[in-house]
Structure 1
Amino acid sequence: MDKDKVLDELKIIETAIGVNFPDKYKQFLSEEVKDTDAYEIQTGQGDTVYLYNYKDLVERNETYAIRDVEPDYLLIGQDGDLGYFINIKNGSEQIYSLDLGALGSLDMDEETMDIYKLKN
């Protein structure tokens, strides 16, 4: 799938859920992840993070009821029970993490300044 098609799909998702994704995140999804079923990256700490493609974003966020417990965040990937998030309310490119079992009860941990810096 080409970059423009992914960007078009992301616009549809943004409209449907009423958010604006950060620019670098959209660029990363459209240029790196595209529509691959399994996109994994290795972090600087040696962890393997599975990043969701545009097709899985809504379903994964609904499955974990992210909007109910963390309405300012979007789950973008995970490493086992550790979820990776972007803040969809402040326009920041920053990536956060939190154990999915602790949603709504603990503050998010700051991981890195943007999705590109999450890769080692």
Structure 2
Amino acid sequence: MEMIEKLVSRTDAAYQRWLASVTDDVDADGVYVYCRESLPERNTTYEIGEWLTGYLMIGQDGDRGFFLRCDGGGPVFRADLGGLGEVDLEVVAPAFEVWLRSGFALPSEPEPDMPLTADVYIDRFPVDGVALLMRARKLLGAYWRVGDLRGYLAAQPFLAARSAPLYALRRRLEHAPELRPYLFYATGHGLEAVWPADSPESR
């Protein structure tokens, strides 16, 4: 509780004023913004201090959390709770006060060109790419035994993650270009690249 209070004291003034004015979580069309009493349990449950040091989880929308950086100001961020790290954060609003005035509205989502979740496979990996596969294991949060990695490489394509959040995975690949050619998701007509070769960022 003391740690949460310390983090709250370092957030921007508009958030602190709002927090002092509410006694229950606020439900804004499925976006829940926590009252002060909910903050310790929510931040502890999702181990926010471990994955996002210096951030406070202030709300939730299903499996996505909303965060403030505890440095006196800055944007409201959003990230999938299954893939927490600073590289996974996206800006929802430039400041808490702006988000509050909007009624906690969310930015419009891009038209999906792939499902929200799907089984992810690894394919076309170099057969001697054990070190690279270790990086893929970390990116996917998988728990493959090191002794099994050569067997996986020999059995490609192999299932790497079930029902993975594809948009979060694509965002992580922005910072891992060496893994982009090898991650695919299952569709009704075979495997599709998580990071298409014709993506502008690939050029």
Give TM-score, length-normalised by structure 2: 0.44
Residue in 1 that maps onto 2:32:
50
Give TM-score, length-normalised by structure 1: 0.72
Structure 2 residue 16 is the aligned partner of structure 1 residue 29: no
Deviations 1:66-106 (A, max 9, x none): 00010021100000001000001x22142000000010273
Structure 2 residue 104 is the aligned partner of structure 1 residue 117: no
- Kept in 2, the 8 Å contact 1:25–1:93? The answer is no
Residue in 2 that maps onto 1:87:
69
What is the CA distance between 1:115 and its match in structure 2? 2.3
- Based on CA coordinates, which of the two structures has the bigger radius of gyration? 2
When the two structures are aligned, how many residues end up with a matched partner?
Answer: 97
Within 2, Cα distance between the matches of 1:70 and 1:111?
17
Where relative contact order (Cα < 8 A, 6+ residues apart) is larger, the structure is 1
Residue in 1 that maps onto 2:155:
none
Which SS does the other structure have where 2:58 is aligned? strand
- Map 1:71-110 → 2, pairs under 5 A: 71-88=53-70, 90-104=71-85, 106-110=87-91
Unaligned ranges ≥5, structure 2: 106-203
- Kept in 1, the 8 Å contact 2:32–2:59? The answer is yes
Unaligned ranges ≥5, structure 1: 1-12, 43-47
Within 1, Cα distance between the matches of 2:75 and 2:19?
15
Residue in 1 that maps onto 2:26:
39
- Kept in 2, the 8 Å contact 1:96–1:108? The answer is yes
Which SS does the other structure have where 1:106 is aligned? helix
Give % identity.
30
Within 2, Cα distance between the matches of 1:105 and 1:29?
24
Residue in 2 that maps onto 1:4:
none
Name the Cα RMSD after superposition.
1.8
